Amino acid sequence: MPQQEEAPAELFAPPPGAWQADIADPDLQYADDERQRRIAGWQSLPGLGELAPLLACDPQLFAPLETLIRQLSTDDTFGPQVALLTARTNGSPTCFDAWLPHWQGEEEFASHLREGDQCPPSLAPAASSGPVSRDRRAAVNPLAWTGLAPPS
């Protein structure tokens, strides 16, 4: 089966400074209550704080991404791991850096992931997550995120 290659490790070197948007939102001071509410809610999502005012201009376009990010944000066990692995594979250092503070596992795992190293089995998150659960809901939940199963 074909496998997607990881992005080059050079993309994930620590950034020289904080990212800032080049586009100012002049309409922000005139935003209605609904747009202000969306902006406030989205600024708390990992990696979207600076973009929230611009994304609030077209909420229908952003709604599916918001749903995905909120689902990942509420799952303390696997959400950050999935987001870090996805960001690493897709070559998105900004997304990787936004999710890194949410990772609660071994620091070495995130370091190995950033550098593109193969993680030693002792640090693999699956190995440290405890015994495999036979709970149907726990098994179906990740499938529901991807749309492969209905939410339970």
Q: How far apart are CA 92 and CA 98, in angstroms?
A: 10
Residue type for 135, please?
D
> Confidence class of residue 132 from pLDDT cuts 50, 70 and 90?
very low
Q: How many CA atoms lie within 13 A of 92 on its CB side?
A: 13
The residue from 18, 37, 62 where one domain ends is: 62
Q: How far apart, in whole angstroms, are the C-alpha atoms of residue 120 and residue 115?
A: 13
Residue count of the chain: 152
Q: Which residue has the higher pLDDT, 48 or 147?
A: 48
| 32 and 88 housed in the same domain | no
What percentage of the chain reaches a pLDDT higher than 90?
0
Residue 129 binned pLDDT confidence (cut-offs 50, 70, 90):
very low
**Last residue in a domain, options 62, 87, 110:** 62
Residue ranges making up the domain that contains 34: 26-62
pLDDT score recorded for residue 17: 74
pTM, rounded to two decimals:
0.45
Residue 67 lies in a domain: no
**Which tokens hold the place of 41?**
């809610």
Please provide residue 12's backbone torsions phi and psi, each rounded to the nearest 5 degrees. -105, 15
Spatial separation of the C-alpha atoms in residues 143 and 149, rounded to whole Å = 5
For range 44-72, the mean pLDDT: 76
DSSP 148: S
pLDDT of amino acid 48: 72
Q: Are 56 and 30 in contact (CB under 8 A)?
A: no
Measured distance CA(18)–CA(31) in Å, rounded = 26
Q: Has residue 20 been placed in a domain?
A: no
